[in-house]
Chains A and B, each alone.
Chain A
């Protein structure tokens, strides 16, 4: 776990300092399919299903649940 966190922090730091992009270079990142949650309705259903069928839930956002799922 510590190794994963270390790796992520290193990537974050490299992103901050090595290749900063300008506002006019954000065309790719601005596309709908590059959004953090590109399919919110599919995500909503997935969270409901896996919340009902597995012991772990959450992580991507906050909240959830709200059912006595069988």
Chain B
């Protein structure tokens, strides 16, 4: 690690407020909380991929068991899970769009009986099956008929900068490329969990979630209640990564409908196999590039066509897609750009938020295409990148500005130095030339094939475009309690990322008190204002700043008698502009920047990849707590290495093949080495003590760096993630 700038006091590591209780096993996650009289619930699911229900021959239920269906949705309510649109149904009313779609909810006292009844109910449903669309190509051809609308396209966007048509027409040469990425499952170690009950007459949901107010909106919409009539209480959440952003709404609404018939408490905890099979995944992608080069070999036109597999219902696909589009030029500036983006409907489980939110797909494609361009043009990979790097004042692909100083050049130099990239890159290339082993199969030699790769990238903090000011409108309050302690009233929650600690540190730093004096333990939607969801790298960057500003109002007032509150509401920085109609302007208020380097050794007998080193540098504005930020960097890198090399989820027939944690493999402690890191301070004026987002950028660059390293090792072009040994062996055996 290195600290080019002297550390700000807020960056100094403290003990996380939640760590000791968690390490002693005393923290009560949802399944650990006693609910006297608790009943259990199981979702009755469609066991086909696509079709229509022809008959439901529901068996008679023993006393004490109820079957809840769409018919139980009260007047005034709606059979939909309200996310961005009134989107997927709470319960299917006949149409089945993906394997495992909910048909009903069974509630009762005994789990074994419930398991048996669920199977009986599922077997009793008769379907007329239809041909399924399972790939982006299937979707665009409307295989089996359109799933959504008339063309299976959830949204179709275009961003244009300059005159891409003219520039492409005048190009001396064009180069194309196509890149694909697969599903990724979140595998938060705590499965989706909730308990629904009635407290003081109100529908009350205890739930493992990133976004309590999303759950509230979804439940209120389904039941036709005013939002204030629904209470959501976030329980300590055992991992989210985007998987508990919207998906908890899907489960909470089913239990909420059950609460119209029975008071509860009703517990719904997904079995791991069920969780793997039916919950949302990262969007698979197909990205096509075409670059036009002028006579001098400079890139004049850049044309990108992105398609994301949105799965069976739209969820947040349009916003994920937008971020994918806005990442498709990575950290480079080209004069004439067109980016088309479509999210399409397939008969897979709905795709939704996952750390990175579209950016990892766009950045992988962009960085791999840049490598292809360098090879085709005959210039050094790094030199090509340096020629087009964004800098302060650059115009982004959406016509916005890079407002901050861009520290990529010094970050890059740092990573090149600590990784010894230049020497290794040359040595591996020489070794490949000398022994000619690259690309041949293992018979020639059992000696590992070495490679090293780099990626440059950025990630916009906060919601895309005008989302913060027009959709979220975050509001925070700090209460000065009678005992003199400040209490934070916000809707952002701890999902492992450390916000219980960082928020307290920000406020304590302003108030010049110990961070342990700050109270932040109320996660009940009827007690706290809506400061927005816990996602989009926005908690510290946006909400932390609001807390800093609110704390300033409290400064010097902690000794005043009694209890009072101060409030801060989000104001968009005035220098930012955005046109949501044309997707033009400043797509994000600020960016976090990164450089990743990965060194690998590929076994020529088994094509397994051994990661020998991971070097990273980040500019996140300023770290609020170094150890917490480091935890994000390492954790993000290892999760992304899983995405890059290990984690494969396939549904050739519609049902996912990998349905257990033995078959869907996430990294263990032995799969990858430690991660070297450096932080570059660059305080952001509208972030708390200069902080920007850090939770997602740490995922984004690993995939392309890994692929670039493998590419060098095997002497074949890599165009897909994950880079499994199977894929490598296919590449090596081609031609």
* Pair from one complex: no
Which residues of A are at the interface with B, using a C-beta cutoff of 8 A? none
